[in-house]
Amino acid sequence: MSLRCGLVALTFLALLLMVAGCDGYENHATHAEKEYTNENQSRLIAAVPPPILTDSLERRNLVRRYQVMNNPSKVSWIALVSYGKVMATYTIKGKVSSVSSQLTCPQQVVYMGSNAVPIDMAEPDGSYGTNGEAIFFFTPEGAYKEWRGEYLVSDQPFVLQTPPQIVAAVNLEKAGK
Protein backbone atom coordinates (compact mmCIF):
# COMPACT_ATOMS: atom_id res chain seq x y z
CA MET A 1 0.00 0.00 0.00
CA SER A 2 2.89 2.39 0.71
CA LEU A 3 4.18 1.82 -2.84
CA ARG A 4 0.76 2.83 -4.16
CA CYS A 5 0.85 6.00 -2.01
CA GLY A 6 4.34 6.70 -3.35
CA LEU A 7 3.16 6.33 -6.94
CA VAL A 8 0.22 8.63 -6.25
CA ALA A 9 2.56 11.21 -4.73
CA LEU A 10 4.97 10.89 -7.66
CA THR A 11 2.13 11.29 -10.18
CA PHE A 12 0.85 14.34 -8.31
CA LEU A 13 4.34 15.85 -8.25
CA ALA A 14 4.78 15.22 -11.97
CA LEU A 15 1.43 16.88 -12.74
CA LEU A 16 2.30 19.79 -10.47
CA LEU A 17 5.61 20.28 -12.21
CA MET A 18 3.93 20.17 -15.63
CA VAL A 19 1.35 22.77 -14.59
CA ALA A 20 4.03 24.96 -13.01
CA GLY A 21 5.89 25.22 -16.34
CA CYS A 22 6.40 28.61 -17.92
CA ASP A 23 3.19 28.93 -19.99
CA GLY A 24 3.92 25.78 -21.96
CA TYR A 25 7.54 26.72 -22.66
CA GLU A 26 10.07 24.23 -21.46
CA ASN A 27 13.75 24.46 -22.23
CA HIS A 28 16.35 21.75 -21.71
CA ALA A 29 17.35 23.03 -18.25
CA THR A 30 13.79 22.99 -16.86
CA HIS A 31 13.20 19.53 -18.35
CA ALA A 32 16.40 18.24 -16.73
CA GLU A 33 15.42 19.80 -13.39
CA LYS A 34 11.97 18.23 -13.60
CA GLU A 35 13.45 14.80 -14.33
CA TYR A 36 15.95 15.17 -11.48
CA THR A 37 13.18 16.22 -9.08
CA ASN A 38 10.94 13.30 -10.12
CA GLU A 39 13.74 10.76 -9.78
CA ASN A 40 14.89 12.20 -6.46
CA GLN A 41 11.35 12.19 -5.08
CA SER A 42 10.88 8.57 -6.18
CA ARG A 43 14.06 7.55 -4.34
CA LEU A 44 13.01 9.45 -1.19
CA ILE A 45 9.51 7.95 -1.18
CA ALA A 46 10.98 4.45 -1.59
CA ALA A 47 13.59 5.04 1.14
CA VAL A 48 11.28 6.84 3.57
CA PRO A 49 7.63 6.19 2.67
CA PRO A 50 5.03 8.48 4.19
CA PRO A 51 3.15 6.89 7.07
CA ILE A 52 -0.29 5.40 6.57
CA LEU A 53 -2.34 7.09 9.25
CA THR A 54 -5.36 5.45 10.82
CA ASP A 55 -6.57 8.71 12.37
CA SER A 56 -6.07 12.42 11.74
CA LEU A 57 -5.94 14.95 14.53
CA GLU A 58 -5.86 17.70 11.88
CA ARG A 59 -9.21 16.52 10.52
CA ARG A 60 -10.63 16.15 14.05
CA ASN A 61 -9.55 19.74 14.82
CA LEU A 62 -11.18 21.01 11.62
CA VAL A 63 -14.43 19.17 12.41
CA ARG A 64 -14.41 20.54 15.96
CA ARG A 65 -13.75 24.09 14.69
CA TYR A 66 -16.74 23.84 12.33
CA GLN A 67 -18.92 22.45 15.11
CA VAL A 68 -17.94 25.27 17.48
CA MET A 69 -17.92 28.18 15.04
CA ASN A 70 -20.84 27.31 12.75
CA ASN A 71 -23.42 28.60 15.20
CA PRO A 72 -25.26 31.86 14.42
CA SER A 73 -25.80 32.50 18.14
CA LYS A 74 -22.13 31.95 19.07
CA VAL A 75 -20.64 34.87 21.01
CA SER A 76 -16.90 35.50 20.65
CA TRP A 77 -14.42 38.30 21.20
CA ILE A 78 -12.08 39.86 18.67
CA ALA A 79 -9.09 42.19 18.93
CA LEU A 80 -8.10 44.03 15.74
CA VAL A 81 -4.34 44.54 15.49
CA SER A 82 -2.27 46.94 13.38
CA TYR A 83 1.49 47.52 13.63
CA GLY A 84 1.57 45.29 16.70
CA LYS A 85 -0.97 47.39 18.59
CA VAL A 86 -4.56 46.53 19.42
CA MET A 87 -6.68 49.07 17.57
CA ALA A 88 -10.13 47.95 18.71
CA THR A 89 -11.95 45.13 20.42
CA TYR A 90 -15.48 43.88 19.85
CA THR A 91 -17.87 41.24 21.03
CA ILE A 92 -19.13 39.39 17.98
CA LYS A 93 -22.13 37.22 17.29
CA GLY A 94 -21.70 34.40 14.80
CA LYS A 95 -18.27 33.98 13.26
CA VAL A 96 -15.55 35.94 11.55
CA SER A 97 -15.79 35.55 7.77
CA SER A 98 -13.58 36.44 4.84
CA VAL A 99 -14.80 39.05 2.36
CA SER A 100 -13.39 36.66 -0.26
CA SER A 101 -15.89 33.93 0.69
CA GLN A 102 -18.36 33.34 -2.10
CA LEU A 103 -21.85 31.90 -2.30
CA THR A 104 -21.45 30.67 -5.86
CA CYS A 105 -18.65 29.11 -7.90
CA PRO A 106 -16.37 31.91 -9.17
CA GLN A 107 -15.54 30.12 -12.43
CA GLN A 108 -17.12 27.79 -14.93
CA VAL A 109 -15.18 25.56 -17.31
CA VAL A 110 -16.10 26.05 -20.95
CA TYR A 111 -14.78 23.71 -23.63
CA MET A 112 -13.44 25.33 -26.78
CA GLY A 113 -12.61 22.43 -29.04
CA SER A 114 -10.44 20.13 -26.94
CA ASN A 115 -9.33 22.91 -24.57
CA ALA A 116 -10.97 23.50 -21.20
CA VAL A 117 -11.03 27.25 -20.50
CA PRO A 118 -12.06 28.75 -17.13
CA ILE A 119 -14.51 31.65 -17.48
CA ASP A 120 -15.19 34.06 -14.59
CA MET A 121 -18.77 34.02 -13.37
CA ALA A 122 -20.74 36.92 -11.91
CA GLU A 123 -21.36 37.13 -8.19
CA PRO A 124 -24.98 37.10 -6.93
CA ASP A 125 -24.96 40.93 -7.01
CA GLY A 126 -23.97 40.90 -10.70
CA SER A 127 -20.38 42.01 -10.12
CA TYR A 128 -17.12 40.29 -11.06
CA GLY A 129 -13.79 40.07 -9.26
CA THR A 130 -12.67 39.70 -5.70
CA ASN A 131 -13.60 41.66 -2.64
CA GLY A 132 -10.01 42.13 -1.50
CA GLU A 133 -8.35 40.77 1.59
CA ALA A 134 -10.35 41.48 4.72
CA ILE A 135 -12.56 39.86 7.30
CA PHE A 136 -16.00 40.88 8.48
CA PHE A 137 -18.24 40.13 11.42
CA PHE A 138 -21.36 41.36 13.18
CA THR A 139 -21.71 42.61 16.73
CA PRO A 140 -24.54 41.27 18.94
CA GLU A 141 -26.43 44.48 18.09
CA GLY A 142 -26.16 43.65 14.37
CA ALA A 143 -23.51 46.23 13.43
CA TYR A 144 -21.35 45.18 10.47
CA LYS A 145 -17.58 45.51 10.99
CA GLU A 146 -14.89 44.91 8.37
CA TRP A 147 -11.14 44.80 8.98
CA ARG A 148 -8.09 44.39 6.80
CA GLY A 149 -5.29 43.31 9.06
CA GLU A 150 -4.29 40.96 11.80
CA TYR A 151 -6.72 39.88 14.45
CA LEU A 152 -7.18 37.59 17.42
CA VAL A 153 -10.51 35.88 17.96
CA SER A 154 -11.50 33.78 20.94
CA ASP A 155 -14.66 32.15 22.19
CA GLN A 156 -13.61 33.13 25.71
CA PRO A 157 -13.14 36.74 26.89
CA PHE A 158 -9.51 37.85 27.11
CA VAL A 159 -7.75 40.62 28.97
CA LEU A 160 -5.61 43.09 27.03
CA GLN A 161 -2.31 44.26 28.46
CA THR A 162 -2.63 47.65 26.73
CA PRO A 163 -5.76 49.65 25.92
CA PRO A 164 -7.00 49.80 22.31
CA GLN A 165 -5.48 52.60 20.21
CA ILE A 166 -8.68 53.62 18.41
CA VAL A 167 -11.80 54.51 20.31
CA ALA A 168 -14.91 55.09 18.20
CA ALA A 169 -17.59 57.36 19.59
CA VAL A 170 -21.04 57.21 18.04
CA ASN A 171 -23.36 60.21 18.11
CA LEU A 172 -26.74 58.48 18.21
CA GLU A 173 -28.63 61.70 17.44
CA LYS A 174 -26.69 62.21 14.18
CA ALA A 175 -26.82 58.51 13.30
CA GLY A 176 -30.60 58.58 13.46
CA LYS A 177 -30.96 61.63 11.16
Q: What is the pLDDT of residue 2?
A: 52
Q: What is the pLDDT of residue 69?
A: 93
Give the span between the Cα atoms of 145 and 136, in whole angstroms. Answer: 5
The pTM for the full model equals 0.62
Reading the chain (177 residues) residue by residue, the pLDDT tens digits are 455 555 555 555 555 555 554 445 557 778 889 999 999 999 999 999 999 999 999 999 999 999 999 999 999 999 999 988 999 999 999 999 999 898 888 889 999 888 999 999 888 888 888 888 999 999 999 999 999 999 999 999 998 888 787 666 666 666 555
Q: What is the pLDDT of residue 18?
A: 54
- Given a contact cutoff of 8 angstroms between Cβ atoms, the answer to whether 74 and 95 are in contact is yes
Give the span between the Cα atoms of 106 and 103, in whole angstroms. Answer: 9
Rg (CA), the chain: 24
